[in-house]
Structure 1
Amino acid sequence: MEAPLVGIVMHPSKDVRASVETLQRWHASGRGQLVARRIDAARLGPGIEVLDDVEFCERVDLVVSLGGDGTMLGSMRLVAARPVPVLGVNYGNVGFLVEIEPDELAAALERMSAGDYSLEPHHALEAVLTWSGARTNYLAFNDLTIVRRPGAGQVSADLTIGGLTYGYYRADAVVASTPAGSTAYNYAAGGPVLSPALSGSVVTPVAPMAGIDRSVVLAAKERYRFDIAEGTRSAALEVDGLVVGEVATGAQLEVRLRKNAGTVIRLDAERHGRTGRVKLSLLDLPVRPDQLIELIPSEVRQRLRQHDRPEPEEG
């Protein structure tokens, strides 16, 4: 079988040379070929072919993302037209999407070469912004946010679901989230955490002043639209935390859920889920201390118990 073509996506500023060197050693073993994006050419060592983004997305069989969740989300958006699997290597902080640490990459590549992994599908929000005669498409794997700019007043937006007017928002921001993104800005704003098994999305206002003042959960088949209403002088449009544009009175943002828009490589889904629950507890998701202890891997709990045992008395 032909060796897979592995694309490297790098965090724009973090030092990820250790992982690049690990990938080069794997490449030298003949079990995979490496390519990278032209934007990262100056930070690569010898022997790695660089491609323009279009060719990169057309050719790669899978992607290794070196960064945090932001880099991982960027990698998934990059290849969304042909959603090849993405493996995340954590050079960030908390990291919910990324699974492995840099020192685990060599072992992960061995397992990937042996086909010892699973694939985890991820939904995304497809959005079309219509404003001033232009139409622009966006894709968000976590959330899509209309947020006020300082000094420019509140965000005012009418919500239409399936062609029927539902209500309006007047708030600091309006956040539309996927199930994966529901633990981020949506949760911080008081919205519900959606199960990863759920196909749907949730819309939550941030600091609402009038209109709809709580979350609205929508089914996967429901299409909805935000009509930016009178009083919105200037608001930022964010995709997965990145400012991608601006909206004001008269703009329309149509949103729908795109199922299985991305694919994440999981080497140990159970460990990743357990680690994710620990990270959520650190962000104040309600977990009792006894439940938090249960999230610690059993082998670690066993070592801790042995360490806590009193030494036998001499005599």
Structure 2
Amino acid sequence: MKNIGINVNTTKNLNKKMLNFIIKNIRSIDDNVNIKVYEDCRGLDESESNKLDIIIVLGGDGTILNTSKNVLSSKTPILGINIGHLGFLAQVEISNVKRALNRLFRGEYAIEERDMLQCSYDDGNEIKRYDGLNDVVLCRKINSRIQKYDVYINDIFYNEFNGDGIIVCTSTGSTGYNLSAGGPIIHPSLNALCLTPMYSQSLTARTIILDSKSCINIASEKKFENVYLSIDGQRCIEIDGLKSVKISMSENKRKLIKFDNNDYFNTLKEKITFKVKGCEHKTYEGN
């Protein structure tokens, strides 16, 4: 391992203390390694990432998703170090940084390939395409009226939903916005697409889990206001008129570094169950 990139979320590392700590530890392991620092993805793209052996992301889940967007088709693996809030995608907490870096240089890790989504639509001039690691969301504007969405799966009409929107996520993204909207948690080893209606008026509006080879088309006809397309929460695109958004698995995959002590179910307990209980306890104490 000779070339390492570190992408830093500067809003979470204002004094650069953690960045300097990581660089110091890498140098103590191998003083000949080349380290290049990127701030908020500036200068980090697919071409640049291909020069690197690994990208260390210093931030939270949003920073990892933003990095993934910028290096879309790159095969360079990403290691997330959590200095954010939840950090579900991050493998390393601040307290374990030194140990994780030592294991990284000893090759004591695995690389997981995570599925990515691709959405596309015709804007009247060209076909627009966007990829995401977590989810694609079609939704109404805040404070606007309820919107109608017609959903087709493999060109067969599935259902009509009147509500705030539709979330389509990967198994990786199931613990994100999908979970907040009442969708299920899906183990990341499963190649699946998950479609979750957002706060629909219909009592029969429920999540459906689909085979990864499925193709979803969501049509939304403008009656009052435009709807918005969001990819991983990193892009928000206003689309007007009658639009059909096609969503399927992308040919791109995202490589994430995983240590064998990071069991998925322990992560669920630590990142979701325990933190939720902690927040509930603090609320109770505050009252």
TM-score category (smaller protein) = 0.7 to 0.9
d(CA) in 1 for partners of 2:74 and 2:128?
A: 20
Query: How many equivalent residue pairs?
Result: 274
* Deviations, residues 44-67 of structure 1 (Å, cap 9, x unaligned): xxxxxxx55343223112100000
2:135 is the alignment partner of 1:143: yes
How far apart are the structure 2 equivalents of 1:204 and 1:275?
23
Structure 2 vs 1, CA of residues 108 and 232 (structure 1 numbering), >3 Å: closer, same or farther?
Answer: farther
TM-score after normalising by structure 1: 0.78
Q: How does 1:137-216 map to 2 (within 5 A)?
A: 137-210=129-202, 213-216=205-208
Asked if the contact 2:166–2:198 (Cα under 8 Å) also holds between the matched residues in 1, the reply is yes
Is the aligned partner of 1:257 residue 2:256? no
Match of 2:211 in 1: 219
Question: How far 1:103 moved relative to its partner?
Answer: 4.2
* 1:5 alignment counterpart: 3
1:124 paired with 2:116, answer yes
Q: Is the alpha carbon distance of 1:40 and 1:214 closer, same or farther for their aligned partners in structure 2, counting shifts above 3 Å?
A: closer
Q: What is the deviation of 1:122?
A: 1.1
Q: 1:172-199, CA deviations, whole angstroms, 9 ceiling, x for partnerless residues?
A: 1211111121122222222222222210
Q: Is the 8 A contact 1:76 1:263 kept in 2?
A: no
Structure 1 pair 79/153, CA: closer, same or farther in 2 (3 Å)?
same
Deviations 1:84-123 (A, max 9, x none): 1111111111221112123432332221111111112211
Equivalent AA in structure 1 for residue 5 of structure 2: G
Q: How far off is 1:83 after superposition?
A: 2.7
Q: Which piece of structure 1 moves more, 233-242 or 25-34? A: 25-34
- Give the CA RMSD over aligned residues: 2.6
Instruction: Give 3-state SS (helix, strand or coil) of 2:98's partner.
Output: helix
Corresponding residue of 1:30 = 31
Rate the CA distance shift 1:102–1:6 in 2: closer, same or farther, 3 A. Answer: same
Counterpart CA distance in 2 for 1:52 and 1:283 is: 32
| Offset at residue 254 of structure 1 (A) | 0.9
Deviations 1:197-230 (A, max 9, x none): 2101111111112596111211011111112224
Per-residue deviation, residues 109-158 of structure 1 (Å, max 9, x unmatched): 22111111111221111111322323222112111111211233223222
Residue of structure 1 equivalent to 2:281? none
The secondary structure found in structure 1 opposite 2:92 is coil
Mean alpha-carbon deviation: is it higher for 245-254 or for 110-119? 245-254
- 2: distance between equivalents of 1:150 and 1:64? 35
Cα distance change of structure 1 residues 195 and 106 upon mapping to structure 2, 3 Å threshold = closer
Aligned to 1:301: none
Say which is worse superposed, 257-266 or 216-225, in terms of deviation.
257-266
Q: TM-score, normalised by structure 2?
A: 0.85
Q: CA deviation at 1:282?
A: 3.9
Identity of aligned residues (%): 23
Q: Return the letter of the residue paired with 2:36.
A: V
Distance 2:256 2:95 in 1: 19
Code of the residue aligned with 2:34 in structure 1: it is Q
Amino acid at match of 2:7: V
Change over 3 Å in CA distance of 1:211–1:271 after alignment to 2: closer
Range moving further from structure 2, 108-117 or 63-72:
108-117
Give the drift of 1:250. Answer: 1.4
Letter matched to residue 87 of structure 1: L
> 2:271 matched to which residue of 1?
279
Matched residues in 1 for 2:95 and 2:264: separation? Answer: 16
- Residue 10 of structure 2 corresponds to residue 18 of structure 1: no
User: Is the alpha carbon distance of 1:259 and 1:123 closer, same or farther for their aligned partners in structure 2, counting shifts above 3 Å?
Assistant: farther
Task: Mark the structure with the bigger radius of gyration.
Answer: 1
Query: Which among 213, 225, 238 is matched to residue 230 of structure 2?
Result: 238
Do the aligned partners of residues 103 and 60 (structure 1) sit closer, same or farther apart at CA in structure 2, a change above 3 Å counting?
A: same
Question: Structure 2 CA distance, aligned partners of 1:243 and 1:39?
Answer: 15
8 Å contact kept, 1:152–1:234 = no
